[in-house]
Amino acid sequence: MAQFKPMLKINLPSWMPRLAFAPQGQAPRGDVLVCVFQRGAMDGLNALVPVGDSNYYRNRPKLAIAQPKTSDAKSAIALDSFFGLHPALKGLKTVWEAGQLAPVHACGSPDPTRSHFDAMQYMEAGAPGNKTLGTGWLGRHLMTLNTGNTSPLRAVGMGTMLPASLRGSTSATVMKSIVDFHLKGNAAQAAVAQQTLMALYAAPENGEALLKQSATEIEATIKLLSKVNVSSYSPANGAKYPSGDFGTGMMQIAQLIKAEVGLEVACIDSGGWDTHINQGGAEGQMARLLTELGDALGAFHTDMGDKMKRVLVVTMSEFGRRVEENGSNGTDQGHANAMFLLGGGVVGGKVHGTWPGLGKENLDNGDLALTTDYRDVLSEIISKRLGNAKLADIFPNYTAKFRGVVNKG
Amino acid sequence: MPDTNLLDISPHSSPKLTRRDFVKIGLAATALAGCSRLRGSTRIVQGAEPTAPVVNVPAVYSGSPESSAKLDKAMPVDATAWLALNRLTFGPRLGDAARVQTMGVDAFIDEQLGLPFSADSANTALNERLAKLDVLNASPADIRAKYDMKRGEVFQQMQTAAIVRAVYSQHQLYELIVDFWTNHFNIYIAKGNGFVLKPTDDREVIRKYALGKFRDLLGASAHSPAMLFYLDNQANRKGKPDENYARELLELHTLGVDGGYTEKDVIELARALTGWSISGIDSDQPGEFQFRPTQHDDGEKTVMGLKLPAKGGLKDVETVLDMLAEHPNTVKFVCNKIARRFISDTPPASAVQKGVAAWNASKGDLKAVFGAILHSDEFKQSAGQKLKRPFEFVAGACRALDVDVTVGRQMLEYFRQMGQPLFFWTPPNGYPDVKGAWFESSSLLARWNFGLQLAGGTLTGNTFRAAKWLGAGKSPDQLLDEVALRLLGSPLPAATKATLNPFANDKQLNILVALLLASPLYQARG
């Protein structure tokens, strides 16, 4: 039973929309949440393949992934009698076998837009159709959950800009790389510069408290990161991260979790999924993307080892792709998609969701129909794994239906 | 007034200069301004057509740093002049303070508002840089043909143009106002194929009407393929309405979210906007504005009580724009935003009211509106009310240090890290204009590192020569005072001076400048 402390005042920046937040008690920390956003709209039908649906093969004469056959490395990896993983996602196989992978199919945002930009904005805002909400679902989650955690690395966006999902959080830090978060110049010069600036910011003569606070956070972050030993890191259990931004980013998230710097939420992007042309089947453009994705997530899972019990990784993409392949060996913008959940808290070993079918009559304007709102999945994670009950603030005007994708933490 | 050390005057206690001091400063400023003739107040008659028979292009903006350095050394900076330069330009260059102090802030405002489009025609530093950017004058089809597979170059050219204009243009206030409208009518340049359209919007909408009539600006934006595409109006068809643009037109471009319209008004306006589309959209090659009568809902509509009879066609929207452009809530909303941009994050209602009065008297002449707000006492008394956004921070530092600027990957990356990559704000409301949005730890760290790199001379292509900038062989006190005067317009407060004293020598001049750029005091926008 959480002990209720005196009301915590949440100071929202004045440029953000005003929301009414109830007073908060301090809550225990739940899982570390790692959100992977696949920019460009992943083709969920070729990632989490409905190998048991003949209409899939009818619609994809060139791009379809073959039904699982143990002798064929280019065929799907069987999950159950109906679904298989793209062979390039072999990195997720051990996660599946460990019961820590929970794919969800035919899910996503209900908004009909096929604009990548609008769909991303809606998904990250946590409010499909709403273009003016200035905060993101994760920002509101952090604002409404007081875990007593004052770490400047409570929420981290790996990249150069704050992910829209984290907007509104006063405790989010953006970094392209934990290796780069320091002052420029040689070490001695940087140390002197930092020390001098901290002295100047300790009592800013223009009375700007927000400058002082920000400088304090910089110093605290640099200090925290100095404990992580950012430049020399050996992943545990022989885990091998792929090179490239995504693999490196996942490795750095693992470093931060292990270093216990107070990380609760991490956001990371994976790009290049807009495969209109030459998407490829078992091999090719999309296979390369899936290899990087699967290998990085697999390495992360191996690296985290036992700590994976309190970590939850969730993937999402703004929408899916059209069921029927196009004339350029690719696929156009579609609707529903697949999400992957990894972690000790997931209900693993099972493909979740309701399969709507791929017959003409089952499609939504030629696209995979949506049977699970992505907010149902995220709400269940937030509620059961992160211990935040303020779902109405996080996903305004929406009542989530839990689908049993995670266990109560 | 002793004539020994004018630096002893504390500028923020508004120095009372004697006639003798004033003459001295005036003489200095005259020398500084070269051939520029000092003028008395030539306040524009509000609402009148722009008249600029005599154009005094202020020579100081591209003046020689060596010649002005000596003069600045002895120049106390009047707090109001410093404020005006920080708010109405991207930041003072050497000599600007002396000049504005001499001519007076009101005359400076009028001068800036009165400059014609051709103000930069002889500005070699600027024009040489702009000449390399071929998307600026290109049509959507040209851009499509040349940059379809390398759209990143279009983003980079547009950002470069905005930055070099901010650093080098003599029409500083205009460039700030362009930035204001760029955000008011925000368009995310990287949405789909929108990158072929935004350069035209920048040229033919924002830059063309930034100081024209609001109705013309609003109308041009409504016809802008870039805007219609960004807010999906090409998908807004009879029987299949898309309310995106209609909603933002009311909420962000005119009335404001509390502007008194209803959901029903949004829907009715969306109906009026059906068929407002773009040529070539079906072939995925958007280009020009195109009204598609077959997609237009030609039934009767009512927007905000205004009846639009059936079969109005294109006229429907024009009628609504006429109404919106002079609606009291629009006037108040826009004037409040202008006052927020230039006066305070929480602007005084009295200053907003001056803008409103000028708007009503001039029928929305933006020169009159900006003039009224900027000439207000509220503006002059607003020191300490604004902090620099990244754009002003970077451009201002380059101006203050007289850096020979090359906008390259590194500089653009700093804009991203500071949180303001130009033309990349995704939602339609434009970059925030209050300080709370700009000082997240990674953004502030990026400012520190930019200062260290720029003043340290390690920002590729952007050379800063400290010794040439300030001259060598000065005492620590002189160094501290002169650097502070150039970057802050006033001597250093005692605590900061003590902290920075160890760096006050010729050898560490670069780091002294860097630390001051990174300091809390330099983040203030006057």
CB atoms A161 and B421 under 8 Å:
yes
Which of A340, A374, A361 has its CA nearest to residue A93? A340
C-alpha B21/C-alpha B2 separation (Å) is 9
Q: Does residue B521 sit at the A interface (CB-CB below 8 Å)?
A: yes
Please give the share of chain A, as a percent, with pLDDT higher than 70.
Answer: 93
C-alpha B61/C-alpha B102 separation (Å) is 15
The single-letter code of the amino acid at A2 is A
How close A67 comes to chain B (CA, Å)? Answer: 35
Q: Identify the pLDDT of residue B513.
A: 97
Question: Do residues B357 and B60 make contact, with C-beta atoms less than 8 angstroms apart?
Answer: no
Q: Identify the pLDDT of residue B474.
A: 93
Q: Which of A122-131, B71-80, B217-226, B237-246 has the lowest mean pLDDT?
A: B71-80
Q: Does residue B172 sit at the A interface (CB-CB below 8 Å)?
A: no
Going by pLDDT thresholds of 50, 70 and 90, the confidence category of residue A255 is very high
Residue of B251, B515, B521 with shortest CB distance to A193:
B515
Give the DSSP letter string of A68-111: P-TT-TTBPEESSSS-EE-GGGGGGHHHHHTT-EEEEEEEE---
Using a CB-CB distance cutoff of 8 angstroms, which residues of chain A are in contact with residue B456?
Answer: 184-185
What does the block give as tokens for B205?
Answer: 């909408």
Name the strands in the sheet holding A77-78, side by side, starting at the edge strand that comes first in the sequence: A48-49, A84-85, A77-78
Q: Number of A:B CB contacts under 8 A? A: 137
Q: How many CB atoms lie within 10 A of CB B402?
A: 21
Question: Which residues, 6+ apart, have CB-to-CB distance to B283 below 8 Å?
Answer: none
Going by pLDDT thresholds of 50, 70 and 90, the confidence category of residue A232 is confident
Chain A residue at shortest CA distance from B492: A205
Q: Give the global pTM.
A: 0.81
Q: How many CB atoms lie within 10 A of CB B514?
A: 31
CB atoms A200 and B515 under 8 Å:
yes
Using a CB-CB distance cutoff of 8 angstroms, which residues of chain B are in contact with residue A176?
Answer: 417
Instruction: Write phi, then psi, for B172 (nearest 5 degrees).
Output: -60, -50
Q: How many CB atoms lie within 10 A of CB B243?
A: 21
What does the block give as tokens for A43?
Answer: 């083709």
Residues A20-49 pLDDT 10s: 333 345 678 899 999 999 999 999 999 999
CB atoms A162 and B439 under 8 Å:
no
How close A298 comes to chain B (CA, Å)? Answer: 30
Q: Identify the pLDDT of residue B32.
A: 31
Q: Does residue A186 sit at the B interface (CB-CB below 8 Å)?
A: no
- Tell me if residue A257 falls in helix, strand or coil: helix
Which of B308, B241, B306 has its CA nearest to residue B275? B241
Question: Do residues B177 and B374 make contact, with C-beta atoms less than 8 angstroms apart?
Answer: no
Q: Which of A256-265, A348-357, B158-167 has the lowest mean pLDDT?
A: A256-265
Residues B260-313 pLDDT 10s: 999 899 999 999 999 999 998 555 556 899 999 999 999 999 999 999 999 999
What does the block give as tokens for A343?
Answer: 């972690």
Pairing of strands A32-38, A265-270: parallel
Q: Identify the pLDDT of residue A44.
A: 98
What part of A 43-102 touches B (C-beta under 8 Å)?
Answer: none
Rounded to 10 deg, the angle between the B409-418 and B441-456 helix axes is 150
Boundaries of every domain in chain B: 6-115, 124-325, 390-523
Rounded to 10 deg, the angle between the A209-228 and A187-202 helix axes is 150
Which top CATH class is A32-49+60-176+230-274+286-355+370-394?
alpha beta
C-alpha A225/C-alpha A228 separation (Å) is 5
Q: Does residue B243 sit at the A interface (CB-CB below 8 Å)?
A: no
Residue of B387, B427, B440 with shortest CB distance to A131:
B427
Using a CB-CB distance cutoff of 8 angstroms, which residues of chain A are in contact with residue B496?
Answer: 200, 205
The single-letter code of the amino acid at A235 is P
C-alpha B68/C-alpha B73 separation (Å) is 9
Residues B358-402 pLDDT 10s: 999 999 999 999 999 999 999 999 999 999 999 999 999 999 999
- Tell me if residue B310 falls in helix, strand or coil: coil
Rounded to 10 deg, the angle between the B441-456 and A187-202 helix axes is 120
Residue of A132, A208, A214 with shortest CB distance to B440:
A214
Q: Identify the pLDDT of residue B286.
A: 62
Residues A264-293 pLDDT 10s: 999 999 998 989 888 999 999 999 999 999
Residues B207-216 pLDDT 10s: 999 999 999 9
Question: Which residues, 6+ apart, have CB-to-CB distance to A229 below 8 Å?
Answer: none
The single-letter code of the amino acid at A355 is W
Which ipTM did the prediction report? 0.84
Q: Which of A180-184, B251-255, B359-363 has the lowest mean pLDDT?
A: A180-184
Residues B394-411 pLDDT 10s: 999 999 999 999 999 999
Going by pLDDT thresholds of 50, 70 and 90, the confidence category of residue A176 is confident
Residues A312-337 pLDDT 10s: 999 999 999 999 998 888 998 899 99
Q: Identify the pLDDT of residue B374.
A: 98
Mean pLDDT of B35-40: 30
Question: Do residues B399 and B86 make contact, with C-beta atoms less than 8 angstroms apart?
Answer: no
Chain B residue at shortest CA distance from A199: B499
